[in-house]
Amino acid sequence: MEWEVVIGLEIHAQLATNTKIFSGASTAYGAEPNTQACAVDLGLPGVLPVLNQEAVKMAIKFGLAIDAEMAEKSIFARKNYFYPDLPKGYQISQFEHPIVGKGKLTIEMEDGTERVIGITRAHLEEDAGKSMHGNFQGQTGVDLNRAGTPLLEIVSDPDMRSAKEAVAYMKKIHILVQYLEICDGNMQEGSFRCDSNVSVRPKGQKELGTRAELKNINSFRNVERAINIEIERQIELIEDGGTVVQETRLYDADKNETRSMRSKEEANDYRYFPDPDLLPIVLEQEMIEQIRASLPELPNTKRDRFVTDMNLSVYDASVLTSSRLLADYFETALVASDKQNPKLCANWIITQLLGALNKAGLDISASPISAEQLGGLLLRINDNTISGKIGKQIFDDLWSDEGQDTDSIIEAKGLKQVTDSSAIEAMIDEVITNNPDQVEQYRSGKEQLLGFFVGQIMKASKGKANPAQVNDLLKSKLAG
Ligand code: ADP
Ligand code: MG
């Protein structure tokens, strides 16, 4: 039997507001437990929530970026359930009337194919507190600092057909919210989280199979692994004559297995009802248009611009726009190198810089070489002061902080490229005189020996001879 996999994701993005969604308490991460939850976050009697405008603006930004229908009027609802990290006994969320309606997002797979994924809705809600296991023997601590942090829950259609597609979609949303500067995307700190709904059905069948929901998996890699192991489990179960039950399952990364956490609640278990303490959100067209005008250039538009205006390959442009910081780095470095050679700039960033950052386990934001410094280096390669090879030495010096900028390193180490053709000719003559056998072989047709001569001359010049000049002069000398 051939099976088709069906996946829908619910992504929770913490919105990057300074204060909570309904109170003035700080949202900063990492404070002493229970120092940033105020009476509103705790739902103490006699207090009223006041909606944070910034959170609304951020939701609108997201909606515009995914071409969504924006709700003229959306409503906050209480989702009632009991849990120690939810002292109010209900979570303020949106249910029937979310602020962001139907939208879509195009994802690209590694092989270059594109797919459009439907987004069902995105709604505003408040985060709950956190249960802390492990700090207290036999007991569970509760930290309510997170309670009331604004979340945008982004619900996809069940449109993904493999774990790889699900991860591509999740990454795309991750990039997008950071471009929009509405979420810091920090997965370790839980700013960006994902629940995966997974089901299988016989290929060709119209109805969806029963799904399991995999909760709170905190890395892209684990999302992929968890989905794949869950697919395997469901197929095996059905093929053995069993049935999948709708439930919430927990992924255990150490054992690479999913296990049942609880049976799935139905919406009616939550007794949703409109929150009587909050007015509906009414969006004025004027405000939407203002926000639309303030949107930054979005990743795909930036990628396409890099391809058309700068002649970069689609691959290079995609890598460079995979984060806003990286794209900014590229553009700043390019300006610092007098905008002379976008392709060279892209190559240096993708191969040299990202390679070195990857090796050092660093993010672009922590790059030891600034975009201006790299641009200064490229400037000297472009104007032939140094060769690419010397450029790599200087790159290492800049990286290890052995010099502030390329020009002072060139000066201090005497790395200036030799472009004086009489000096280069003298070196060539010497190499020719010292290697009569190779010269004869070359002249009788063994042209691959050219590389040998180039190597000798570069060695003699300590890498400083201009390679293009060496090539030209050498060829004409060898031709006799
Ligand atoms: P709930 O809010 O109860 O979790 P929803 O109907 O809102 O349920 O769906 C949540 C997510 O589950 C959505 O992303 C949706 O696309 C996905 N989903 C729904 N049915 C299935 C299914 N049979 N298989 C896979 N994903 C599904
Ligand atoms: Mg759900």
DSSP 427-476: HHHHHHHH-HHHHHHHHTT-GGGHHHHHHHHHHHTTT-B-HHHHHHHHHH
Distance CA 60, CA 416 (A): 54
Residue 264 pLDDT > 80: no
The sheet with strand 212-217 has its strands ordered as: 103-108, 114-126, 150-156, 3-14, 192-202, 212-217, 247-252, 257-263
Q: Find out whether 259 and 249 touch, Cβ atoms under 8 Å.
A: yes
Distance CA 132, CA 154 (A): 26
Q: How far, CA to CA in Å, does 331 sit from each of 73, 283, 374, 466? A: 40, 36, 11, 28
Q: What are phi and psi of 283, to 5 degrees?
A: -95, 125
Q: Pick from 165, 87, 94, 167: which is nearest to 125 by CA?
A: 94
pLDDT tens per residue, range 181-210: 999 999 999 999 999 999 999 999 999 999
Cβ-based neighbours of 363, under 8 Å, separated by 6 or more = 357
Of residues 237 and 466, the one with the higher pLDDT is 237
> Residue 156 forms beta bridges with which residues?
119
Ligand 1 atom index nearest CA of 199:
24
Choose the residue to mutate in 10, 105, 123, 160 for probing ligand 1, maximizing ligand atoms within 8 Å of C-beta. Answer: 10
Residue 355 pLDDT > 80: yes
The H or E element containing residue 112 is none
pLDDT band at 56 (very low <50, low <70, confident <90, very high): very high
Q: How far, CA to CA in Å, does 243 sit from each of 3, 84, 237, 442? A: 15, 33, 7, 75
pLDDT band at 9 (very low <50, low <70, confident <90, very high): very high
Tell me which residue has its CA closest to atom 17 in ligand 1.
8
Q: Pick from 105, 227, 236, 214: which is nearest to 161 by CA?
A: 227
pLDDT band at 432 (very low <50, low <70, confident <90, very high): very high
pLDDT tens per residue, range 76-135: 999 999 999 999 999 999 999 999 999 999 999 988 899 999 999 999 999 999 999 877
Residue 272 pLDDT > 80: yes
> Residue 78 forms beta bridges with which residues?
92, 273
Cβ-based neighbours of 270, under 8 Å, separated by 6 or more = 79, 80, 81
> How far apart are the CA of 104 and the centre of ligand 1, in A?
16
The H or E element containing residue 401 is none
Distance CA 344, CA 41 (A): 52
Q: Find out whether 369 and 442 touch, Cβ atoms under 8 Å.
A: no
Residue 474 pLDDT > 80: yes
Ligand 1 atom index nearest CA of 9:
14
* Other beta carbons within 10 Å of 444: 7
Q: How far, CA to CA in Å, does 113 sit from each of 172, 221, 312? A: 14, 21, 19
Query: Which pLDDT does position 124 carry in this prediction?
Result: 98
> Residue 347 forms beta bridges with which residues?
none
Q: What is the dihedral of CA 207, 212, 217, 219, to 10 degrees?
A: -30
pLDDT tens per residue, range 359-374: 999 999 999 999 999 9
Mean pLDDT calculated for residue range 415-422: 84
Mean pLDDT calculated for residue range 311-315: 94
Q: What percent of the chain has pLDDT over 70?
A: 99
Residue 262 pLDDT > 80: no
pLDDT tens per residue, range 152-163: 999 999 999 999
Query: Which pLDDT does position 89 carry in this prediction?
Result: 94
Q: How far, CA to CA in Å, does 340 sit from each of 310, 334, 343, 344, 383? A: 10, 7, 9, 9, 9
Query: Which pLDDT does position 420 carry in this prediction?
Result: 86
pLDDT tens per residue, range 218-234: 899 999 999 999 999 99
> How far apart are the CA of 366 and the centre of ligand 2, in A?
36
Query: Which pLDDT does position 404 carry in this prediction?
Result: 84
Residue 267 pLDDT > 90: no
Cβ-based neighbours of 335, under 8 Å, separated by 6 or more = 375
| Overall size of the chain counted in residues | 480
pLDDT tens per residue, range 361-418: 999 999 999 999 999 999 999 988 898 989 999 999 999 987 789 999 998 888 888 8
Q: Pick from 408, 417, 358, 415: which is nearest to 385 by CA?
A: 417
Residue 6 pLDDT > 80: yes
Residue 23 pLDDT > 90: yes
Mean pLDDT calculated for residue range 234-255: 95
> How far apart are the CA of 413 and the centre of ligand 2, in A?
62
The residues lining ligand 1, judged by C-beta closer than 6 Å to any ligand atom, are: 6-10, 155-158, 197-199, 208-209, 211
pLDDT band at 21 (very low <50, low <70, confident <90, very high): very high
Q: Pick from 265, 276, 272, 280: which is nearest to 78 by CA?
A: 272
Please give the model's pTM, rounded to 2 decimal places.
Answer: 0.86
Q: Distance from CA of residue 206 to its chain's centroid? A: 34
> How far apart are the CA of 213 and the centre of ligand 1, in A?
8
Q: What percent of the chain has pLDDT over 90?
A: 84
The H or E element containing residue 262 is strand 257-263
Distance CA 164, CA 221 (A): 10
